[in-house]
Chains A and B, each alone.
Chain A
Amino acid sequence: MSSSEGKLKPSSSELDLDRPNIEDYLPSGASIHEPHGKLRLRDLLDISPILTEAAGAIVDDSFTRCFKSNPPEPWNWNVYLFPLWCSGVVFRYLILFPVRAIVLTIGWMIFLSCFIPVHFLLKGNDSLRKKWERVLVELICSFFVASWTGVVKYHGPRPSMRPKQVFVANHTSMIDFIILEQMTAFAVIMQKHPGWVGLLQSTILESVGCIWFNRSEAKDREIVTKKLREHSQGADNNPLLIFPEGTCVNNQYSVMFKKGAFELGCTVCPVAIKYNKIFVDAFWNSRKQSFTMHLLQLMTSWAVVCDVWYLEPQNLRPGETAIEFAERVRDIISVRAGLKKVPWDGYLKYSRPSPKHRERKQQSFAESVLRRLEEK
């Protein structure tokens, strides 16, 4: 969730350890039909399958599709519906938006007038202070949700505070966190943002217990894994919420889950979130919009309607690796939320694929040539 696009750089090899073999998922023309028979000049010169793959990727690729905003089809292109749409716009911007802004301001005033005293006066009595701060954070999140006229339907048993459990969810926008937080005060792991969001993160979210990571630092992962483990072992810490995709995806696809959340030795409780696109497209395309504009867009739409499913907690099965566990949970969430799975690492948004994949293709080509050389 970074707000600026720097130059792409090759990814560190550490990020690759997260992924199972992409070749198992990718449709590759060359691997479908294994050529046989004596090697001829034609076979060396014929690069058509490789060129076809490259051109296919230029024309359409499953990675870019994950991050495409797909607003609902415009319905207002005739002379009868257009004025209706215009009056809708006027209503939303001149009536709904000011009302919502006022509601949100009132919410902030109530929150700050309770939070600041509680934070400073109850400094001695930690557990009571934490309890109050939790309630207040849930309150401000409810005000946020109300300010978009959020209609959230929660399915499944509400999360309980137990040690050794983490919650994982698919990620569409930062508002995922707010929607889940209004029901239960989670501790969350987030990328530190600049601006007013960063300020909120460092003051208010500190009270529910947050872990910061920095996507651009490779060494950061070990530190973060350690912090995650410490947090999940603690009995009176808030339950930890992790978005294993690592980046915002457009709520129609799911990218590969990072295994960090799945090797903490805890029970993993999947949460699936699906937004109803008819009302607003809640995907936060962090390359196109700042978070402020995104919030404004939500506050000037009719409603944010979504479904949240708390799914059955999962444990690591004997003989299962962390990556397989992550894929199994991703499967559960994707099926529930109606998302299509793609075999890409979300961080490819920020860095190039590692040379390992190209090398794998080179290896299979080399092996095929050498093998056919033997056949006479």
Chain B
Amino acid sequence: MLTRNYLFIFFFLFLAVSLEPNSSKILSETMGNSSSMLTQYDIEEVQQHCQRLFSQQEIVSLYERFCQLDRNAKGFISADEFLSVPEFAMNPLSQRLLKMVDGLNFKDFVAFLSAFSAKASVQMKIKLIFKVYDSDGNGKVSFNDILEVLRDLSGSFISDNQREQVLTQLLKEAGYSKDSYLTLDDFIKVLGSPGLKMEVEVPVD
């Protein structure tokens, strides 16, 4: 008789723990670190990894966002989960960015986004742009590489011929030829002069 009462009480308390939104916070605090909480040590490690370009509060916000996108707490965000953000899926360069961002763990995710911090140098931002163009990662951007990105950006609204024409002409005017390969330094020369604005603000509640 007594054990049955205890069983009922345990059942109700179990229900409480699973339904109460606050109980998981208590549990993870009493049982030490659980996988969904960041310790101070973790935050500092991530901050080091991204060259201190994000403040600690921003890293905590980014972690909440990471957990929100990573639906089954696998530790990384899959391509499908990125594409479930409609604003991202609509972006013409989403496939290229996906290659760079798919399957990253939180530390590398923050490192990727750090190029968009207001404190990041212009060189870091240009480096990211270069990486987007240099899809095979050989350190050189060819005429075709640029054409491919242009194709993503303009779709069927400019013909292939016209794209080639415009690019050849502009390369000539800038002192390059159709066969030349652009390196990171060339990119810095072309894009660096009046400065580059590529910043994203991390919402901090």
Contacts and interface: CB of A to CB of B under 8 A. Distances in A.
Contacts of A173: none
Nearest to B128: A51
A123 to B, nearest CB: 42
B109 to A, nearest CB: 9
A40 B173 CA distance: 8
A68 B89 CA distance: 19
Contact of A353 (B89, B125, B133): B89
B80 to A, nearest CB: 6
Interface in B83-128: 83-94, 97, 101, 113, 116, 125, 128
B146 A45 contact: yes
A51 B153 CA distance: 11
Interface stretch (A135-143, A332-340, A363-371): A363-371
Contacts of A352: 83, 86, 89
Interface stretch (A55-63, A228-236, A309-317): A55-63
A50 B91 contact: yes
Contacts of B171: 41
A363 B25 CA distance: 48
Interface in B174-203: 174, 176, 187, 190-191, 193, 196-203
A45 B187 contact: yes
Given A41-B171, A74-B25, A54 B153 contact: no
Interface stretch (A89-97, A176-184, A323-331): A89-97
Given A54-B91, A59-B200, A296-B15, A45 B113 contact: no
B86 A344 contact: yes
Contacts of B94: 54
Interface of A: 5, 7-8, 26, 39-42, 44-64, 68-69, 71, 74, 76, 85, 89, 92-94, 97, 281, 287, 293, 296-297, 300, 344, 348, 352-353, 357-359, 361-363, 365-367, 369-370, 373
